[in-house]
Amino acid sequence: MARIRRWGVIVAALVGGIAAMQPHAQMPAPAPMRDLTWGKLNFLQTTDTHGWLGGHLTEPSYSADWGDYVSLAHHMRKQADERGVDLLLVDAGDRIEGNGLYDGSNPKGLYLYDIYRQQDIDIICTGNHELYKSWAIQDEHRYTVPNYQNNYIASNLDYINITTGKQEPMAPRYRKFKTKNQGLEILAFGFLFNFSENNKTLSVVQRVEETVKEPWFQDAIREDPDVFVVNGHVGVEMSEFNNTIYKAIRDVNPTTPIVFLGGHVHLRNATMYDERAIAVASGRYFETIGWVSLDGPLKKDEVPSPQPRDAGKITFSRRYIDTNLLGFYHHTGLNGEAFETERGRNTSNMIAHARNNMRLEELYGCAPQSYWMTRFPYGHKNNLYTLLANKILPYVAYDEQRVDIPRLVLINTGAMRFDIFKGRFTRDSMFNVSPFPNKFRYIPNMPYKTAKFIFDVLLSWESYFTDQRPYLMMLGIPTCELNIRRETFIAPKDVLKLASRSVGQARLSGYGEPEIVEGHTTVDGLGNDGDDTLHWSYDYHTQPAVVKTEMGVTEGEEPETIDFVFIDFMKGPLSQVFKRLNTTYTEADMLPYGTELLDVMVHKWVKENWSQEC
Ligand SMILES: [Zn+2]
């Protein structure tokens, strides 16, 4: 009863209007929820936020913003104080690139660092995205490192000062501190996986196998804390974590609890390395926030000698919290104005202000329906790449001088990075869908048969080349999401049905029961009960690496030659393929086609083809 009454209050608060979330964000719907399990030591974890601090304005389940998270953390810290337990906030990097809030300003990130720092974070480290561009490394060193001072940890990352040429640790190598309420001794590291494509003029990433041999590391793991925390931009199933660092710590500390908090692969996942070592990663794009808790005797002296320390059993729990206000209300027991803190509200306002200055809400057009990257097969009318190939490509690949010449236009699916949702398609949506500056190129007068063959090779290169072709893997939707068997992370529908029945009956006693909506569902190494919100799973379909359209080609009358058109990004992969197939084409044959950037052309297409009233 109490629960249902609370939903009533929450819905009333929403209807009454709330200042939190971004102005155009959609209201979430009430959903069946799982509670958080509190332990003596608890964590809230973010990773791979990639600039999504404004939240997902078109996805109600993920519509809270960074300001709402600031409020959530405030209340959770208070709850921890009242319970006499401890709560730590952790972030594992890749905070930039991939959203208009970062990419939409000149210089990039003009607003992001100040917004981000509004959240107090206890342990923070660097991702690979902070290290590609020289300005991104400098900004990280200039802003985020001092913003978080000793909480910023760089166990295997150095910064090179360009004026002095001096190489120095990006931040402290590790952090030892006592928790606020129980005085638990924590020893925390901050790692980056063995990343090698960083900008070498300004940064040095040490391989993790080398770092664990360093005298400072060997000394640190002998400091005998109550708990080790390894924060890292590392997948929880990557060997840097589950082999190298885990073994190094465990060899010296056979029973000390270890919490690994990872990221990078953009998937929610959790696993136990042993009975006293858990590893959790909380997803991507600020869609979900991780919750990890440990309970049992955590203090070294809590189990009286002569009993061995491992006599005290430690229990672990994890949850993936959907970033929406209703969920935040549920976990704090507060809503509306009682939930919103001044700092949270200010942060939401900073985001709104930044979005305004960057004109991210500028309406390009109204999408008549949603177009999904992977929820429908290619060819289906609801598939993004079907729309791209059938409608957008014929329009955007345009060159005034060559308009009468038949053309075959190719684009790699990795060039389009996010779903299009029915309704407002804005400058912001454009950054999400197509974040890369690309122009078109072409090879004139290519024999039509050759062009078709090249397309075929790109489509099914595995059957043409038996060895791994990294330059071809780059064409599809990012491999970091796909080379892990994604289906293993998506709960099958019948599992969800069972789960929803048990939660629904136990918690909501049959009436007023909120409906289940589609959303991210997680099957991780610990089971299928990790999500805080019950969802139906999205369908998932593998997409081709490239799609094409042909213009000026009538069936049955194949032209001798055509213009072979593609985007800039494909230059490298195509030259490799040409070389492998012993053709004479090289990069020198790839000429500019049209003058406009792809996203400028897509903008024009949207303006001409979609209505302006949503
Ligand atoms: Zn990432």
Query: What is the reported pLDDT for 176?
Result: 98
Structurally, the chain folds into a number of domains equal to 2
The reported pLDDT for the residue numbered 342 is: 97
Q: 481 alpha carbon to ligand 1 midpoint, in Å? A: 10
Do 204 and 95 fall within a single domain?
Answer: yes
Helix pair 325-332, 66-83: axis angle to 10 deg: 10
What is the C-alpha to C-alpha distance for residues 580 and 577, in angstroms, rounded to an integer? 5
* Widest Cα–Cα separation across the chain: 89
Predicted TM-score (pTM) of the model is: 0.86
**Separation of CA 47 and ligand 1 centre (Å):** 8
Same domain, 81 and 190: yes
Distance of CA 385 from the midpoint of ligand 1 (Å): 23
Mean pLDDT score, 48-71: 96
Q: Where is average pLDDT lowest: 215-229, 237-251, 534-548?
A: 534-548
The yes-or-no verdict on residue 479 having pLDDT over 60 is: no
DSSP-assigned letter for residue 313: -
Domain boundary among 312, 334, 357: 357
For position 511, what pLDDT does the model report? Answer: 43
- Is it true that the peptide bond before 306 is cis, omega within 30 degrees of 0? yes
More confident call, 538 vs 271 = 271
Are 269 and 206 part of one and the same domain?
yes
pLDDT score, position 309: 55
Look at residue 451 and tell me whether its pLDDT is greater than 70.
yes
Q: Ligand 1: distance of its center to the CA of 264 in Å? A: 5
Task: Confirm whether 417 is domain-assigned.
Answer: yes
Q: Does any domain span residue 304?
A: yes
- Ligand 1 center from residue 478 Cα (angstroms): 10
Q: Looking at residue 564, what is its pLDDT?
A: 97
pLDDT at 130: 97
Q: What span, in angstroms and rounded, lies between the C-alpha atoms of 97 and 107?
A: 12
pLDDT value for 540: 82
Give the domain CATH number at 82: 3.60.21.10
* Separation of alpha carbons 365 and 602, rounded Å: 11
8 and 77 inside one domain: yes
Does residue 546 form part of some domain?
Answer: yes
Distance 514 CA to ligand 1 centre (A): 33
Query: Residue 468: what pLDDT?
Result: 60
What backbone torsions phi and psi does residue 519 show, to the nearest 5 degrees? 180, -175
Are 345 and 378 contained in the same domain?
A: no
Whether omega for the bond prior to residue 107 falls within 30 degrees of 0, making it cis, is yes
Average pLDDT over residues 140-160: 97
Instruction: Establish if 495 belongs to a structural domain.
Output: no
**Ligand 1 mean position, distance from CA 610 (Å):** 32
Chosen domain end from 357, 377, 403 = 357
Measured at the CA of 374, the angle between CA 368 and CA 378, to 5 degrees, comes to: 80
Question: Rounded to an integer, what distance in angstroms lies between the CA atom of residue 365 and that of residue 313?
Answer: 58
Q: Which residues surround ligand 1, an ion (CB under 5 A)?
A: 48, 94
- Do 351 and 447 fall into the same domain? no
Q: What is the mean pLDDT of residues 281-304?
A: 91
> Ligand 1 centre and the CA of 567: distance in Å?
24
Whether residue 522 is contained in a domain is answered as no
Measure 48 CA to ligand 1 centroid, in angstroms. 4
Question: Quick check: helix, strand or coil at residue 388?
Answer: helix
Task: Please indicate, yes or no, if residue 580 is contained in any of the structural domains.
Answer: yes
Do 202 and 134 fall within a single domain?
yes
Range of the domain at 432: 363-483+541-609
Q: Give the Å distance between the CA of 14 and the centre of ligand 1.
A: 32
Same domain, yes or no, for 158 and 113?
Answer: yes
Residue 603 pLDDT: 92
Instruction: Give CA–CA dist 67/347, Å, rounded.
Output: 5
CA distance 45 to 76: 13
Query: What's the one-letter identity of residue 373?
Result: M
The answer to whether residue 5 scores a pLDDT higher than 60 is: no
CATH code of 371's domain: 3.90.780.10
| Among 77-81, 149-153, 399-403, 432-436, the least confident range | 432-436
| In-domain check, residue 492 | no
Q: Measuring CA to CA, which residue among 571, 347, 333 is closest to residue 439?
A: 571
The predicted pLDDT at position 29 comes to 87
Res 513: pLDDT: 65
Q: What percent of the chain has pLDDT over 70?
A: 89
Instruction: Tell me: do 271 and 392 sit in the same domain.
Output: no
The last residue of a domain, from among 312, 338, 357: 357
Q: Contact at 8 Å (CB) between 121 and 148? A: yes
- Residue 434 has what pLDDT? 85
**Co-location of 331 and 474 in the same domain:** no
Q: Are residues 281 and 385 in the same domain?
A: no
- Of 176 and 11, the structure prediction assigns the larger pLDDT to 176
Residue 458 lies in a domain: yes
Q: 255 and 241 in one domain?
A: yes
